[in-house]
């Protein structure tokens, strides 16, 4: 982020821009517009959709003499300089692996709209420690288990976690609910009846992970998981859907997540079959007056349902 900020600050002339780099597949530029505002600019052959501004960013769509379209995002409130740099960095990084330039405009517009929605919902801060650990566990499960089993595109599209549905993954005729706890943890928290109460047989997946140091060769973090998974997705639409869904969750690859505080080592992954015999709460056994239920499951007590 510091490097990009330095580039913005280096511009002295108004209405001057510099291409991101020669290897980026999109024609993205940063600079200062005619009003001396920091600006991210996309050149595209296809007309971008009109988009709404935010309290931080002014947006515009225009056409040049060479018939190419421009899409610009300009910072209107210097209070948000750091957030604007994060936004620009995210647009640059998430679009870097796009294979089809014809989708450039729609990708950037959709990405901006997800950011705008996140800002409106005040999700600009770092995720909480609990959210970080939970998200990391789901991404590990997607990468290590679902992708090899179903293929990366189907695995990604089965992920429902950030959309706050009862189960984290729903694919074909089954589902998976992922819980991430420390290696010494002996129980998992079930936050609603619906998480395990299903007419379809599914799995409760328990990931044991502990904080570790950067020198640990097995250390993983949100940013490197995101980069690895995103790079393995070949379909541009699936890649965009993956990035935008994470943004709904409140995650984008900001540098703070690189710190040692947010690095983990996965110690063990356990699978438990959840069928009609699994000992969990069922909606039809709970009084109708009880609307919400949260309970703990003792892992030792469900060992008979553990899969080898």
In tens digits, what is the pLDDT along the chain, a chain of 308 residues? 458 889 999 999 999 999 999 999 999 999 999 999 999 999 999 999 989 999 899 999 999 999 999 999 999 999 889 889 989 999 998 898 888 888 899 999 999 998 988 887 766 678 999 999 999 999 999 999 999 999 999 999 999 966 777 899 999 989 999 999 999 999 999 999 999 999 999 999 999 999 999 999 999 999 999 999 998 999 988 988 898 888 888 888 888 898 889 999 999 999 999 999 999 999 999 999 998 999 999 999 999 999 97
Between CA 136 and CA 263 the distance in angstroms is 10
pTM score = 0.81
**Strand-pair category, 69-75 with 38-44:** antiparallel
Chain-centroid distance, C-alpha 102? 23
Q: What Å distances lie between residue 36 and 12, 71, 72, 75, 83, CA to CA?
A: 9, 17, 14, 10, 18
What does DSSP say about strands 202-211 and 174-181: parallel, antiparallel, or unpaired?
parallel
Report the distance separating Cα 94 and Cα 86, nearest Å. Answer: 12
Other beta carbons within 10 angstroms of residue 27's beta carbon come to: 16
């Amino acid at each position: 982020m510091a490097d990009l900020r330095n580039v913005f600050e280096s511009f002295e002339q108004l209405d001057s821009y510099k291409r991101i780099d020669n290897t980026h597949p999109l024609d993205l530029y940063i600079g200062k517009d005619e009003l001396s505002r920091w600006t991210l600019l996309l050149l595209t052959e296809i007309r971008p959709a009109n988009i709404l501004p935010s309290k931080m960013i002014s947006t515009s769509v225009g056409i040049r003499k060479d018939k190419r379209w421009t899409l610009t995002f300009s910072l209107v409130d210097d209070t948000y300089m750091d957030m604007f740099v994060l936004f620009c960095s995210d647009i640059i990084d998430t679009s870097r692996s796009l294979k089809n330039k014809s989708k450039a405009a729609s990708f950037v517009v959709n990405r901006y709209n997800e950011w705008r929605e996140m800002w409106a919902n005040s999700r600009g801060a770092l995720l909480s420690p609990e959210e970080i650990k939970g998200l990391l566990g789901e991404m590990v499960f997607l990468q290590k288990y679902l992708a090899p089993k179903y293929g990366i595109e189907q695995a990604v599209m089965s992920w429902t976690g950030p959309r706050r549905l009862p189960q984290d993954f729903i694919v074909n005729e089954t589902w998976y609910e992922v819980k991430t706890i420390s290696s010494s943890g002996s129980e998992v928290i079930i936050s609603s009846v619906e998480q395990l109460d299903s007419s379809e047989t599914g799995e409760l997946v328990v990931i044991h992970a502990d904080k570790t140091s950067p020198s640990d060769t097995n250390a993983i973090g949100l940013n490197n998981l995101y980069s690895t998974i995103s790079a393995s997705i070949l379909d541009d639409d699936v890649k965009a859907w993956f990035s935008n869904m994470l943004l709904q969750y409140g995650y984008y690859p900001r540098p703070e997540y690189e710190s040692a505080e947010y690095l983990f080592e996965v110690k063990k992954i356990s699978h438990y079959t959840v069928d009609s015999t699994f000992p969990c709460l069922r909606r039809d056994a709970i009084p109708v007056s009880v609307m919400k239920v949260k309970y703990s499951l003792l892992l030792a007590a469900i060992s008979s349902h553990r899969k080898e």
